[in-house]
C-alpha cells in the first residue's frame, strides 16, 4: 500500500504515547502516513481530519452510497451542460466541418483534412490540394487521430514526479537561461526530431543566436541520414532528391520502399499506381534484403543481402556507364541496365534510406548518366533543417553529456532513451546533465530520467507548421483545445525567448506575417489555413552535378559471411511513435499479417538450416547485446538476413504499448543503423504465440486474385474472364425480379493499383467505430476490422510473387447470409445494400458461417469500451456503436450514402456520381477503390466494371457480388524469365 518507508522505531514511540486501549489496523494507520490518509479519503468521501463526529460520518457515507447506487443504475453524466447562448458561426449540430491541416510523420508533412463533429475531430481524410497527399492518406495519418484521445497520454506537467504549474516551468527555464548566459549557452542543448517547421527553425535560430555556444541536435530513429550522406558523396553537398514516379517508365529500386515509407507517401503511391493501369505501364525492378510492399509490386524482384545490393548497384552503374570501373555482372544486371538505357530520361533509380551512402551516390550517378536527373528525379535543398548527419550530431551530444559539458538538455518531442543507438548509452550519459526538460505526448522512457516533463499538445491540438517532401508548407491548425493542457514545441521554446507567455497561435502567425503570398495578409493567412498549404513554398529544383571522380570513391564491399541483422521501422507503429495506438497495433502488417508483435523475419532456407519454425524464440546477439525474439519464417527474405522491426518492447509507452514485442533498438548500434553483420542467433526452448490474421498463404489453385501481364491483356482482354469459372448470366435465375430503387450501389477495387498499404483498413475502423479486440482475440480468429487485405504468395518459396487483395462485404445480390438469418436481421435494401440490423441480431452466427467470403465480424465479447469516457469522443456519431453478441460488417458506409441523399433531396436532384466517397475509397492513396451507382452506365464505377479486367470473387456460386475487382497487371521484362512456375506454396505460418 505504501511507497513511503514504514518506520518501526517511530511506530513504537507512537504506541507508547497512546493511552488506554486504542486499536490500530496497520503501521500505516499508526504512523498516519500520507497515503493511508488518502486511502481513508477514498473510503469515506470526507476529509478525515475535518473533525466530523461518528454520526455525521455515517450520514455522509449513507449519502455517498445512495449516490453510488443511483449512478450505478443509470449512465447519467454528472457534468453540467450549457446550451450555446450565441452559437458559433458555421457550426450546425450534426453537420461535420473539415479543417485542412497536416500529419507530420518523420518530420515531413502530409496534408490532411480533419473531420470535426461539434468540435471533436473524429476522422482524417486526405487533402487533394496537398502535393504529398493529393487526397490520399496512409495508415499513420489515419491512425494518429486515436493518439489524440489516448487516455494514457501524459496529462500533467511534472517536476521529478510532482505536479507543477506551467509558471513553475517558466521560472525554472528562466533560471537555467540566466545560468547559461555567461557561458553563452555552452551547456545548452536542444534535441528534436527531424524539424521541417519554418517557425520552429526560426525559434531555434533565435535561441542559438542568443546563445552562440548552444547546439541543436536532431535525431530521427528512422531518419534519412543515408539519403543526405549519399547526396554529399555524389554531389559534394546534401540535397533532397524528389522523384516523379508518374514520369518513370522503368524504375529500379535499390531497397527503396517508396510505396510504404519515405517522405513522399502517399503521393508516391498515387504516381506509381497511375502508371500501372494505363496504356504504357511502367516496369519496376526491386532488389532488397527483406520483403517490402514495393518489392511485392515489383515486376522483377531479387532478394539480395546488403553487400550484394551494393555490388549490384555498382554493376548496373558500370553497365550503364555511370562510373568507370570493373564489376561482376550477370544476366539480371544486363537486363536491368539495358532496360534503363533504352528508357533514357524516363528511367529512375531509387535507393532506400536503409542503403549506405555509396548506393545512393551510385543511384544519383546512374540517373545522371541516363539523363533521368531533371526529368524523373529533381534535387532541392534539404527540406529538414538542422544537421544533416544526425547520427554524428547525436554522438557528439552524448560525448558532451558524458564529459559533463551539458548543463541544460531540452528534448522537444523525442524519446532518445528508447530509440537512440544502443552503443551510446544515452540514458546513462543523460544523468550527467544538470537540468533535463522533456516535452512529449507520453510520460515515456525518456521523461522518466528527466527533471521536467511537459505534456505535449497533439498536432490536432496545437498551432504549428511543417514542410512536405517538396518543401511546401502547411500551417497546422488545432481542431480542439488541448485535452490535457498540452504545450507545443513552439510554446516551450518561447520560454527561452523574451516572450515566454506567447501563445502558439501568435508564434506561428507572427512567423508568417509578411511572408504569405497575396496583398491582404489576413486573407492570405485564411487562404493558407483553408487550403492546407502556403502557395509557392515548394523548393525550386537545384542543379547539381555528380563528382566525376565518384567511381574511385566507390568500394565494392566483399560479400559478407554469416548472419546479418536488418533493422526496419515497423509498418504499423513506425519507430514506436504509434506504439500505444490500438488501431495500429491491431493492424495486420502488410506482409506478415502479424498483429500486436514484431518478430525476427528469417528466410525459409535459413530457417531450415538453423532448424527454426515460426514461433520459436531465439536469442539475437549483436556486438555483445542480446535480445530474445520470436521467429517468423518470411518467404522472399534474403538468405542469412534476419529482419527485426523497431518500435516494440516499450516499457513506458502506455497500457497498449507496454510489453508488446521485443525492443530491437537495444541491438541497434550507431555504426550499423540498418544492417548489422555478425549476428549470432541462438535457439531457445521457449515458444511464443504470434497473432496473425491470415494463416494460409497459398491460393490452392483457386483464383481469388487474378493477375495477367499487360502484354497478355493488350493482346486478349478476355484472358481475365477465362482465369476463373464463368458466373451465371443476369438471366440465369429462377427468381422474379424484386423491386429496386433508383440507385444500385456498387464498388470496384483495382488490384493493379492496390499496393496493400492498409490505409483503407484503418480508415474503415475510424469511420465505423470498430473496436480493438486485443492480441488474444486476434489469435483466436476474432479480429474485427471490416476490411481485410488478403496477401497470397505464388511460386518459389525463396522469392515468391506476392499479391494483395482488399476483401470486404461483397453486398451480394443473392446474399447467402440473408437467407439463413432466422430473425431477418440481415436483409437487402432496394438499392442493393446487404444491410446488417444490429439491434435485431440475436447472434446465431449462421450468416457468417454461410458467407463464402467470411467478411462478417462478430462481437464475441463486449469489445467496445463503454466505460472510458474519453474514447467516446473519437466515435463517429453517424454510426451505431455495437454491443456484445451482434454480427457486424461493411455497410458501404451507408451513413455517407444517406448524408449525400439528404443533400441531394434538399436540392431536389439525383445524387451525383462521385458525391458519395466511402471511407476506404477516400483513404486509398492509389485511387484503387471506386464507389457509385452501377445502374448509371456513365458512373465511374460502371465504367470500371465495364472493363474486361473486371471479375467478381466466387461468382460461380451465383452470389452476384456488387463488389468486384479489376485484375492486377504486371509488366515483366520479356528478356527475363518470369517468376519460376514452382508448385503453389503450402501453408507456411500459423
Distance CA 60, CA 52 (A): 10
Distance CA 372, CA 343 (A): 9
Stretch that binds another protein, among 222-230, 537-545, 842-850, 913-921 (CB under 8 A): 842-850
Q: Are strands 563-569 and 675-687 parallel, antiparallel or unpaired?
A: antiparallel
Residue 738 contacts another protein per CB under 8 A = yes
Nearer to another protein, 225 or 595 (CB): 595
Nearer to another protein, 74 or 839 (CB): 839
Stretch that binds another protein, among 194-202, 360-368, 669-677, 788-796 (CB under 8 A): 788-796
Indicate the DSSP class of residue 841: -
Residue 736 contacts another protein per CB under 8 A = yes
Placement of cell 523497431 in the chain = 646
- The minimum distance between CB 88 and another protein, in angstroms, equals 39
| Contact with another protein (CB under 8 A) among 301, 467, 856, 949 | 856
Residue 860 contacts another protein per CB under 8 A = yes
For residues 675-704, which are near another protein according to CB under 8 A? 694-702, 704
- The minimum distance between CB 723 and another protein, in angstroms, equals 13
Stretch that binds another protein, among 20-28, 193-201, 510-518, 816-824 (CB under 8 A): 816-824
| Contact with another protein (CB under 8 A) among 886, 890, 924, 967 | 886
Distance CA 398, CA 829 (A): 65
Residue 881 contacts another protein per CB under 8 A = no
Residue 615 contacts another protein per CB under 8 A = no
Distance CA 514, CA 511 (A): 9
What is 645-666 written as a DSSP string? Answer: EES---SSS-TTTTTSS--GGG
Stretch that binds another protein, among 191-199, 205-213, 250-258, 778-786 (CB under 8 A): 778-786
Residue 723 contacts another protein per CB under 8 A = no
The CA dihedral of 187, 192, 198, 199, to the nearest 10 degrees, is -70
Which triple of cell numbers denotes residue 834?
A: 446487404
Distance CA 437, CA 496 (A): 12
For residues 926-955, which are near another protein according to CB under 8 A? 953-954
Nearer to another protein, 603 or 825 (CB): 825
Helix (H) or strand (E) holding 218: strand 215-218
Residue 344 contacts another protein per CB under 8 A = no
Please name which of 405, 412, 453, 413 lies closest in space to residue 432, comparing C-alpha atoms.
405
Stretch that binds another protein, among 257-265, 521-529, 818-826, 868-876 (CB under 8 A): 818-826
| Contact with another protein (CB under 8 A) among 70, 163, 842, 946 | 842
Stretch that binds another protein, among 27-35, 221-229, 415-423, 828-836 (CB under 8 A): 828-836
Stretch that binds another protein, among 202-210, 662-670, 827-835, 904-912 (CB under 8 A): 827-835
Residue 707 contacts another protein per CB under 8 A = no
Q: Helix (H) and strand (E) counts for the chain?
A: 32, 38
| Contact with another protein (CB under 8 A) among 245, 792, 892, 931 | 792
- The minimum distance between CB 593 and another protein, in angstroms, equals 9
Indicate the DSSP class of residue 193: S
- The minimum distance between CB 782 and another protein, in angstroms, equals 5
Residues 951-980: x/- map of binding to another protein (CB under 8 A)?
--xx--x--x--------------------
Give the 3-state secondary structure of residue 538.
coil
Nearer to another protein, 615 or 914 (CB): 615
Nearer to another protein, 168 or 699 (CB): 699
- The minimum distance between CB 502 and another protein, in angstroms, equals 53
Distance CA 616, CA 769 (A): 36
Placement of cell 471490416 in the chain = 786
Nearer to another protein, 503 or 844 (CB): 844
Q: Are strands 600-602 and 625-633 parallel, antiparallel or unpaired?
A: parallel
Please name which of 187, 104, 55 lies closest in space to residue 489, comparing C-alpha atoms.
104
Which triple of cell numbers denotes residue 614?
A: 515460426
Nearer to another protein, 256 or 692 (CB): 692
Distance CA 462, CA 469 (A): 22
- Sorted by sequence, the CB contacts under 8 Å of residue 633 that are 6+ apart come out as 601, 602, 603, 604, 607, 612, 613, 614, 988, 989
Residue 729 contacts another protein per CB under 8 A = no
Distance CA 296, CA 608 (A): 23
Residue 843 contacts another protein per CB under 8 A = yes
Stretch that binds another protein, among 218-226, 470-478, 569-577, 858-866 (CB under 8 A): 858-866
Please name which of 852, 104, 825 lies closest in space to residue 466, comparing C-alpha atoms.
104
Indicate the DSSP class of residue 129: T
Please name which of 970, 966, 922 lies closest in space to residue 944, comparing C-alpha atoms.
966
Nearer to another protein, 175 or 830 (CB): 830
Stretch that binds another protein, among 473-481, 563-571, 747-755, 878-886 (CB under 8 A): 878-886
| Contact with another protein (CB under 8 A) among 9, 735, 867, 983 | 735
* 515, 649, 729, 814 from 734: Cα distances, Å: 70, 59, 12, 12
Residue 841 contacts another protein per CB under 8 A = yes
* 91, 102, 335, 716 from 46: Cα distances, Å: 43, 48, 82, 83
Please name which of 868, 826, 872, 830 lies closest in space to residue 846, comparing C-alpha atoms.
826
Distance CA 851, CA 847 (A): 6
- The minimum distance between CB 786 and another protein, in angstroms, equals 12
- The minimum distance between CB 954 and another protein, in angstroms, equals 6
**Residues in the site for another protein, rule: CB under 8 A?**
694-702, 704, 733, 735-736, 738-739, 777, 780-782, 788, 790-792, 805, 807, 812-824, 827-830, 840-846, 848-850, 852-854, 856-862, 884-887, 953-954, 957, 960
Amino acid at each position: 500500500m505504501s511507497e513511503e518507508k514504514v518506520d518501526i522505531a517511530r511506530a513504537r514511540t507512537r504506541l507508547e504515547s497512546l493511552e488506554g486501549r486504542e486499536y490500530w489496523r496497520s503501521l500505516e494507520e499508526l504512523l498516519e502516513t500520507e497515503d493511508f490518509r488518502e486511502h481513508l479519503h477514498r473510503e469515506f468521501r470526507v476529509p478525515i481530519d475535518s473533525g466530523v463526529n461518528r454520526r455525521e460520518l455515517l450520514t455522509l457515507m449513507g449519502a455517498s452510497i445512495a449516490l453510488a447506487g443511483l449512478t450505478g443504475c443509470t449512465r447519467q453524466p454528472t457534468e453540467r451542460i450549457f446550451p450555446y447562448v450565441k452559437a458559433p458561426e458555421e457550426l450546425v449540430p450534426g453537420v461535420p466541418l473539415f479543417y485542412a491541416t497536416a500529419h507530420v510523420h518523420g518530420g515531413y508533412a502530409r496534408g490532411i483534412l480533419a473531420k470535426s463533429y461539434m468540435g471533436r475531430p473524429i476522422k482524417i481524410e486526405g487533402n487533394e490540394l496537398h502535393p504529398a497527399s493529393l487526397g490520399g492518406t496512409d495508415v499513420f495519418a489515419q491512425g494518429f487521430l486515436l493518439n489524440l484521445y489516448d487516455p494514457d497520454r501524459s496529462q500533467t506537467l511534472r517536476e521529478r514526479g510532482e505536479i507543477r504549474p506551467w509558471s513553475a516551468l517558466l521560472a525554472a527555464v528562466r533560471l537555467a537561461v540566466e545560468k547559461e548566459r555567461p557561458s553563452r549557452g555552452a551547456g545548452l542543448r536542444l534535441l528534436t526530431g527531424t524539424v521541417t517547421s519554418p517557425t520552429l527553425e526560426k525559434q531555434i535560430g533565435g535561441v542559438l543566436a542568443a546563445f552562440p555556444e548552444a547546439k541543436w541536435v536532431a535525431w530521427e530513429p528512422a531518419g534519412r541520414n543515408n539519403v543526405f550522406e549519399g547526396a554529399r558523396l555524389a554531389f559534394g553537398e546534401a540535397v533532397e532528391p524528389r522523384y516523379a514516379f508518374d514520369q518513370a517508365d522503368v524504375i529500379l529500386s535499390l531497397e527503396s520502399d517508396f510505396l510504404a515509407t519515405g517522405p513522399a507517401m502517399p503521393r508516391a503511391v498515387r504516381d506509381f499506381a497511375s502508371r500501372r493501369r494505363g496504356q504504357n505501364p511502367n516496369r519496376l525492378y526491386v532488389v532488397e534484403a527483406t520483403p517490402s510492399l514495393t518489392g511485392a509490386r515489383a515486376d522483377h524482384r531479387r532478394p539480395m543481402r546488403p553487400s550484394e545490393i551494393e555490388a549490384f548497384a555498382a554493376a548496373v552503374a558500370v553497365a550503364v556507364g555511370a562510373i568507370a570501373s570493373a564489376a561482376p555482372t550477370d544476366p539480371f544486371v544486363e537486363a536491368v541496365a539495358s532496360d534503363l538505357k533504352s528508357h533514357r530520361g524516363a528511367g529512375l533509380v531509387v535507393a532506400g534510406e536503409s542503403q549506405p551512402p555509396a548506393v545512393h551516390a551510385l543511384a544519383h550517378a546512374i540517373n545522371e548518366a541516363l539523363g533521368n536527373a531533371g526529368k524523373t528525379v529533381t534535387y532541392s535543398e534539404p527540406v529538414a533543417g538542422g544537421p544533416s548527419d544526425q547520427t554524428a550530431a547525436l554522438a557528439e551530444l552524448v560525448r558532451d553529456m558524458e564529459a559533463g559539458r551539458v548543463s541544460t538538455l531540452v528534448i522537444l518531442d523525442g524519446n532518445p532513451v528508447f530509440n537512440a543507438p544502443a552503443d551510446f548509452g544515452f540514458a546513462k550519459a543523460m544523468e550527467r546533465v544538470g537540468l533535463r526538460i522533456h516535452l512529449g505526448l507520453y510520460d515515456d522512457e525518456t521523461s522518466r530520467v528527466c527533471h521536467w516533463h511537459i505534456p505535449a499538445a497533439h498536432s490536432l491540438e496545437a498551432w504549428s507548421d511543417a514542410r512536405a517532401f517538396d518543401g511546401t508548407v502547411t500551417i497546422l491548425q488545432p481542431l480542439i483545445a488541448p485535452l490535457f493542457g498540452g504545450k507545443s514545441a513552439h510554446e516551450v521554446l518561447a520560454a527561452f525567448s523574451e516572450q515566454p507567455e506567447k501563445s502558439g497561435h501568435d508564434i506561428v502567425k507572427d512567423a508568417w506575417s509578411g511572408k504569405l503570398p497575396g496583398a491582404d495578409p489576413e486573407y492570405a493567412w485564411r487562404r493558407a489555413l483553408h487550403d492546407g498549404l502556403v502557395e509557392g513554398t515548394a523548393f525550386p529544383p537545384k542543379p547539381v552535378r555528380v563528382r566525376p571522380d565518384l567511381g574511385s570513391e566507390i568500394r565494392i564491399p566483399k560479400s559478407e559471411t554469416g548472419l546479418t541483422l536488418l533493422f526496419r521501422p515497423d509498418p504499423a507503429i513506425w519507430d514506436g511513435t504509434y506504439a500505444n495506438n490500438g488501431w495500429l497495433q491491431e493492424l495486420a502488417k502488410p506482409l506478415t499479417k502479424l498483429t500486436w508483435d514484431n518478430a525476427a523475419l528469417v528466410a525459409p532456407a535459413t530457417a531450415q538450416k538453423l532448424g527454426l519454425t515460426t514461433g520459436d524464440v531465439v536469442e539475437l546477439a549483436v556486438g555483445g547485446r542480446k535480445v530474445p525474439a520470436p521467429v517468423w519464417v518470411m518467404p522472399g527474405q534474403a538468405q542469412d538476413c534476419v529482419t527485426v522491426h523497431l518500435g516494440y518492447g516499450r516499457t513506458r509507452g502506455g497500457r497498449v504499448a507496454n510489453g508488446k514485442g521485443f525492443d530491437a533498438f537495444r541491438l541497434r548500434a550507431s555504426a550499423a543503423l540498418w544492417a548489422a553483420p555478425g549476428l549470432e542467433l541462438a535457439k531457445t526452448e521457449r515458444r511464443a504465440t504470434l497473432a496473425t490474421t491470415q494463416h494460409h498463404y497459398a491460393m490452392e489453385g483457386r483464383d481469388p486474385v487474378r493477375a495477367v501481364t499487360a502484354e497478355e491483356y493488350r493482346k486478349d482482354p478476355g484472358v481475365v474472364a477465362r482465369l476463373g469459372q464463368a458466373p451465371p448470366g443476369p438471366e440465369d435465375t429462377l427468381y422474379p425480379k424484386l423491386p429496386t430503387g433508383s440507385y444500385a450501389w456498387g464498388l470496384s477495387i483495382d488490384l493493379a493499383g492496390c499496393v496493400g498499404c492498409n490505409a483503407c483498413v484503418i480508415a474503415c475502423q475510424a469511420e465505423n467505430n470498430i473496436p480493438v479486440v486485443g492480441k488474444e482475440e486476434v489469435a483466436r480468429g476474432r479480429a474485427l476490422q471490416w476490411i481485410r487485405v488478403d496477401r497470397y504468395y505464388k511460386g518459389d518459396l525463396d522469392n515468391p510473387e506476392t499479391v494483395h487483395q482488399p476483401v470486404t462485404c461483397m453486398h451480394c445480390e443473392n446474399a447467402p447470409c440473408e437467407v439463413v438469418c432466422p430473425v431477418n436481421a440481415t436483409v437487402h435494401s432496394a438499392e442493393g445494400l446487404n444491410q446488417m440490423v444490429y439491434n435485431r441480431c440475436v447472434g446465431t452466427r449462421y450468416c457468417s458461417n454461410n458467407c463464402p467470403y467470411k467478411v462478417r465480424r462478430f462481437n464475441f465479447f463486449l469489445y467496445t469500451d463503454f466505460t472510458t469516457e474519453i474514447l467516446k469522443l473519437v466515435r463517429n456519431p453517424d454510426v451505431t456503436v455495437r454491443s456484445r453478441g451482434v454480427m457486424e460488417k461493411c455497410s458501404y458506409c451507408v451513413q455517407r450514402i444517406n448524408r449525400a441523399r439528404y443533400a441531394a433531396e434538399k436540392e431536389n436532384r439525383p445524387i451525383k456520381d462521385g458525391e458519395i466517397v466511402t471511407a476506404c475509397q477516400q483513404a486509398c492513396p492509389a485511387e484503387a477503390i471506386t464507389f457509385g451507382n452501377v445502374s448509371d452506365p456513365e458512373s465511374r464505377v460502371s465504367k470500371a466494371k465495364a472493363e474486361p479486367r473486371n471479375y467478381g470473387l466466387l461468382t460461380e456460386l451465383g452470389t452476384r457480388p456488387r463488389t468486384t475487382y479489376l485484375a492486377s497487371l504486371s509488366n515483366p521484362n520479356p528478356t527475363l524469365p518470369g517468376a519460376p512456375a514452382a508448385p503453389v506454396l503450402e501453408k507456411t505460418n500459423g
